[in-house]
Structure 1
Amino acid sequence: MTLFPPTALCSAVVRRLAMALAAVMLLGFPGIAPVAGTPALAQEAGADWYGEMEAGDRQFRFAIESAEEQGKTVHRLRSFDEGDRRFLLERFSDGGGKLVFEIKATGAVYVATVGDGGVATGTWTQRGQTLPLTFRKAAGQAVPPAADEIWAGTLDAVVQKLPLRFRIGKGADGQADVRMDSLGQKAGGFRAERVVAGEAWTIKVPAVKGEFAGKLGPDGKLTGSWKQGGANLPLVLEKVAAGAAAALPPEQRRPQTPKPPFPYDVREAAFRNTNDGVDLAGTLTLPQGAGPWPAVVLVSGSGQQDRDETLMDHKPFLVLADALSRAGIAVLRYDDRGVGGSGGDPTKATSVDFARDAEAAIEWLKERPDIDPARIGVVGHSEGGLIAALLAARRTDLAGIVMLAGTGVDGGRILVSQGELVLKSEGLGDADQIRRSRVMQEAMIDAVRGSDESTDPAALAAQAGARIRADLADEIDKADEVDEAQLDAAVADGLRRLTAPWFRFFIGHDPATALAKITCPVLAIIGEKDVQVDPALNLPAIRQALAAGGNTDATVEEIPGLNHLFQTCTTGAVSEYDRIEETLAPVAIATVRDWLVKRLGAK
């Protein structure tokens, strides 16, 4: 980080600390929300039907496409605002004045009546919600319709560069209809509100609580900043051709992603967490033969993850499931609550709730005649490792658990450690600046520790703010009002996140209490360069807790050269994840596979 002259040092430090703190808080623990490929921009012909669905502050643009495959017609739904993904349509019919289809992977059902003008008016039902959706015959026209204007730029969000795009068209009322797409995250169609006053533009995006403010310069560019979650990051938007592809990061190769045909059976799975009334969907990979087979349940890290734990087009759970099933172990992986084909609301859930989802998966496996109920284990990554320990602490029927970058200390210590290591790995501060960031985090975390759900958020913010001002008095006294306001916003946003149910549990939960109760075999591994779950902090704590409980079959190891995702890496930085082609290092796959084969008795 650049050194600032004394007259600007304190103001710049406060500003950058607020930005860095917001970036670290957006990481959450200990993973990043899944991302996928790029929403389409260029128009294409060939669709049979085209439709647009309004879902609150977001719009989804769909095309129904057909193709001949192996002698039969196959229909797919193309979702332009979900990374240009294509979903196989089941029970498809567009005859007899009806348009009907089902997407088994997501649990969506569409039923419509087709009018004389080739317009299908109907409803989309998914996870208990019903939304109106109208399709029209594409009749060879290019879809989606072109926008009147498109402005694009790249946001440097500290640990990730995010290409953004704003599409401007006309709504049904003739007024400007503005939509934002986050291309790198494969999420688009967010409703935006634009205000133009001379050369000054403001674009607010309610769904993400973000705002762009900038001015149109003589070079034709909009130069300004993006504000979100207490961060204020520079952003320059340039006008691009409405029908041309936007400037995007190069597509990354993921050579380890398995491709069919597979030497094992792949089956859809559906089970229910009866305690919470949550229906979950996933995939079971089953070795070919009579069985009964040993099996493991894969439990993902924090954030809403799909069954493959997809991240930046990496699919680590798919890669791991493939390796294990080839070795004779059945694997059940499933979509988290509110993702893919799974129902439920994750926003108020904690790791305890997610543990009940994993428990439902175990019970579902135990009821299958092709699975040996005495040889079932759990493999959890990151938060999933914490959940595996919770399950093993209260169940005596597990044949073993694997903690992949699981934690050994309470979440408050994890967040502080993560904040420091992430900033160091990204080169975002010297020792003194990182110390200041640590002061801010500890003030907020300690405020949450000493509160409960009834505590007034404003009082918490005031408490944390007072401590930060006392501990960083010299720097903050010299900051201007704008910088102080930005700092206050970062603290308020950080506390809003930390007081959510998931974070409250995480901060207060000491994994040692569960680890000391585990009697089944345990494999706990963390990558040497993991900046999200520090091996130096967590492995000794895991080792000590297991030993204190008398566990006689515990393997606790640091794997050289690997990051939080168990990729072979250079620095371990979060910004490296998408640049690394490797999804899982062979040494990590072999360590898990061989340990499970030995404990579960696979071939």
Structure 2
Amino acid sequence: MKNAQSDSIYACFDVKMQQAVPLSQLKDMWAQVEQQVGSLEKEKEWKQDAIDGTVVYYTDLKFQRASLRFLVAFNTEHKVSGLRLLPVPPEEKPLVVPFDSIHLEESPVEVVTGNYKLPGILTRPKGKTHLPIVILVHGSGPQDRDGSIGPNKIYRDIAWGLGAQGIAVLRYDKRTYVYGKASVPEGKDITPEEEVIEDAVSACQLAASLPFVDKQKVFVAGHSLGGLLAPLIATRCPSVNGLILLAAPSRPQDDILKEQIRYLGSLNGNTDEALLAQQFQQVKASAPQAYWDYLNKYAPVMTAYSLSIPMLFLQGERDYQVTMQDFSMWKLGMFGKTNATFYSYPTLNHCFMEGTGKSTPMEYNHPARLSEKVIEDIAK
């Protein structure tokens, strides 16, 4: 565009674009822009986002008199299917809801497992006793106590939301977030045992020991990987009286990973099976074989079926990471069990945030809050 190589750009257009934007119009486009807003002074790095499930690429350009966003979209044949110059939208600010210091209080806690000490925080209604308590168990990856993803803090949303409903919440930094590679002794391969379960059991024991907690109302809320492992955590910790499984996988990990990779590839029009297989192997190589072996031996649905405590299964229908197929398998596996309740939400994604169209990883970069409906259902 800058070098007026309009023939090259036109050749990259798909048929619809070539019909919509004739070559003669393309030749004058950049000159007209500079005539209106002055010469180009600075261009920022390229980023990507998604509009209704279509991946678009953009860079923000600073001209003398205005800033414009240069947006390009491609079709599945990698031809340009959209090209636009728009005003740069105002910067999105995180949706911060102020902490209700009148009705709630927060205090630091430490979840201790052997030599591992994890800083955490306890949220509770002020001056109340005999409280139900929820222990939040993270998804995969090194996550902090707030479940921070982009500008969003989904576990903090749950803690503050449940606190407002008279429920205490314990959340803590994950071991892999605090200790990294030192999360297991040197020479030992990490498994979900060290990554999640040991510390979750310690957190449950801590929660049950708190003087203001109703010992008959200790609940574990596991998100994603935490939801997958929640039934196993309950078998290890008799003080747990109920489970909330948020977007919990129920199928073999290999099946889920392949499905995720294929879905993400489809957003960019990538259907090359060899490349997808290579990406799958890269994901598998990010954890030792002992990690995957542990998950392959674990039977989450059967473990959950063996439990007599109440279980609440929650699922966003726009979730591409853990899908409605997983939710259906939980339902099928719990058939006939009166202690299992199921809710799904048509407009929510993997982080239980609102959206429209196909869910994409880029939507986590936009400020949002975990759905109030989900918090209400957990509280009930």
Matched, 1:297 2:135: yes
Q: Which residue in the other structure is 1:516 paired with? A: 305
In the TM superposition, residue 511 of structure 1 has moved relative to its aligned partner by 1.9
Q: Please say if residues 261 and 280 of structure 2, whose CA atoms lie closer than 8 Å, have aligned partners that are also in contact.
A: no
Q: Which residue in the other structure is 1:318 paired with? A: 156
Aligned sequence identity (%):
26
Matched, 1:349 2:190: yes
Specify which of 535, 538, 544 is matched with residue 326 of structure 2: 538
Measured against aligned partners, the alpha-carbon deviations of 1:281-310 in whole angstroms (never above 9, x if no partner) come to 100012222413111100111101110001
Secondary structure in 2 matching 1:385 = helix
Specify which of 177, 199, 221 is matched with residue 379 of structure 1: 221
Q: Which residue in the other structure is 1:406 paired with? A: 248
Q: Please say if residues 404 and 526 of structure 1, whose CA atoms lie closer than 8 Å, have aligned partners that are also in contact.
A: yes
Aligned-partner residue type, residue 360 of structure 2:
A
Distance of 2:290 and 2:220 partners within structure 1: 24
Matched, 1:415 2:257: yes
Q: Please say if residues 319 and 348 of structure 2, whose CA atoms lie closer than 8 Å, have aligned partners that are also in contact.
A: yes
Change in Cα spacing, 1:496 to 1:541, as seen in structure 2 (3 Å) is same
Q: Which residue in the other structure is 2:177 paired with? A: 339
Matched, 1:505 2:294: yes
Q: Which residue in the other structure is 2:99 paired with? A: 259
1:225-264 to 2 correspondences below 5 Å = 251-264=91-104
Distance of 2:104 and 2:299 partners within structure 1: 39
The structure carrying a bigger helix percent of its residues is: 2
Distance of 2:230 and 2:90 partners within structure 1: 37
Change in Cα spacing, 1:3 to 1:527, as seen in structure 2 (3 Å) is farther
Q: Please say if residues 520 and 551 of structure 1, whose CA atoms lie closer than 8 Å, have aligned partners that are also in contact.
A: no
Secondary structure in 1 matching 2:177 = coil
Change in Cα spacing, 1:506 to 1:162, as seen in structure 2 (3 Å) is farther
Q: Which residue in the other structure is 1:359 paired with? A: 201
In the TM superposition, residue 575 of structure 1 has moved relative to its aligned partner by 1.5
Distance of 2:58 and 2:176 partners within structure 1: 24
In the TM superposition, residue 422 of structure 1 has moved relative to its aligned partner by 2.9
Specify which of 553, 569, 581 is matched with residue 339 of structure 2: 553
Q: Which residue in the other structure is 1:153 paired with? A: 45
Q: Please say if residues 201 and 236 of structure 2, whose CA atoms lie closer than 8 Å, have aligned partners that are also in contact.
A: no
Distance of 2:168 and 2:235 partners within structure 1: 23
Change in Cα spacing, 1:343 to 1:373, as seen in structure 2 (3 Å) is farther
Measured against aligned partners, the alpha-carbon deviations of 1:107-166 in whole angstroms (never above 9, x if no partner) come to xxxxxxxxxxxxxxxxxxxxxxxxxxxxxxxxxxxxxxxxxxxx9733659989899xxx
Distance of 1:343 and 1:258 partners within structure 2: 35
Q: Please say if residues 161 and 372 of structure 2, whose CA atoms lie closer than 8 Å, have aligned partners that are also in contact.
A: no
Change in Cα spacing, 1:265 to 1:156, as seen in structure 2 (3 Å) is closer
Secondary structure in 2 matching 1:153 = coil
Change in Cα spacing, 1:495 to 1:298, as seen in structure 2 (3 Å) is closer
In the TM superposition, residue 348 of structure 1 has moved relative to its aligned partner by 4.1
Change in Cα spacing, 1:491 to 1:413, as seen in structure 2 (3 Å) is closer
In the TM superposition, residue 250 of structure 1 has moved relative to its aligned partner by 6.4
Change in Cα spacing, 1:423 to 1:510, as seen in structure 2 (3 Å) is farther
Distance of 2:96 and 2:58 partners within structure 1: 25
Secondary structure in 1 matching 2:359 = coil
In the TM superposition, residue 356 of structure 1 has moved relative to its aligned partner by 1.2
Change in Cα spacing, 1:491 to 1:376, as seen in structure 2 (3 Å) is closer
Specify which of 273, 287, 292 is matched with residue 113 of structure 2: 273
Change in Cα spacing, 1:257 to 1:314, as seen in structure 2 (3 Å) is farther
1:484-503 to 2 correspondences below 5 Å = 493-497=282-286, 499-503=288-292
Normalising by the residue count of structure 2, what TM-score does the alignment of the two structures yield? 0.70
Q: Which residue in the other structure is 1:584 paired with? A: 370
Change in Cα spacing, 1:492 to 1:403, as seen in structure 2 (3 Å) is closer
Aligned-partner residue type, residue 362 of structure 1:
C
Change in Cα spacing, 1:251 to 1:157, as seen in structure 2 (3 Å) is closer
Aligned-partner residue type, residue 585 of structure 1:
S
In the TM superposition, residue 582 of structure 1 has moved relative to its aligned partner by 2.2
Change in Cα spacing, 1:573 to 1:413, as seen in structure 2 (3 Å) is same
Distance of 1:293 and 1:343 partners within structure 2: 37
Q: Please say if residues 396 and 520 of structure 1, whose CA atoms lie closer than 8 Å, have aligned partners that are also in contact.
A: no
Change in Cα spacing, 1:413 to 1:526, as seen in structure 2 (3 Å) is same
Q: Please say if residues 531 and 563 of structure 1, whose CA atoms lie closer than 8 Å, have aligned partners that are also in contact.
A: yes
Count of aligned residue pairs for this structure pair: 305
In the TM superposition, residue 510 of structure 1 has moved relative to its aligned partner by 3.6
Secondary structure in 2 matching 1:339 = helix
Q: Please say if residues 143 and 176 of structure 2, whose CA atoms lie closer than 8 Å, have aligned partners that are also in contact.
A: no
Change in Cα spacing, 1:261 to 1:558, as seen in structure 2 (3 Å) is same
Q: Please say if residues 253 and 296 of structure 2, whose CA atoms lie closer than 8 Å, have aligned partners that are also in contact.
A: yes
Distance of 1:497 and 1:372 partners within structure 2: 41
Measured against aligned partners, the alpha-carbon deviations of 1:527-570 in whole angstroms (never above 9, x if no partner) come to 111011011x11121112223xx632211222111111111111
Q: Please say if residues 260 and 321 of structure 2, whose CA atoms lie closer than 8 Å, have aligned partners that are also in contact.
A: yes
Change in Cα spacing, 1:516 to 1:156, as seen in structure 2 (3 Å) is same
Distance of 2:310 and 2:212 partners within structure 1: 23
Normalising by the residue count of structure 1, what TM-score does the alignment of the two structures yield? 0.46
Q: Please say if residues 118 and 178 of structure 2, whose CA atoms lie closer than 8 Å, have aligned partners that are also in contact.
A: no
Give the aligned CA root-mean-square deviation in angstroms: 3.4
Measured against aligned partners, the alpha-carbon deviations of 1:17-68 in whole angstroms (never above 9, x if no partner) come to xxxxxxxxxxxxxxxxxxxxxxxxxxxxxxxxxxxxxxxxxxxxxxxxxxxx
Change in Cα spacing, 1:258 to 1:317, as seen in structure 2 (3 Å) is farther
Secondary structure in 1 matching 2:45 = strand
Secondary structure in 2 matching 1:301 = coil
Measured against aligned partners, the alpha-carbon deviations of 1:301-343 in whole angstroms (never above 9, x if no partner) come to 1101110001101011111101111111110000001435999
Aligned-partner residue type, residue 526 of structure 1:
Q
Distance of 1:261 and 1:521 partners within structure 2: 32
Distance of 2:181 and 2:284 partners within structure 1: 28
Distance of 1:362 and 1:160 partners within structure 2: 44
Change in Cα spacing, 1:553 to 1:495, as seen in structure 2 (3 Å) is closer
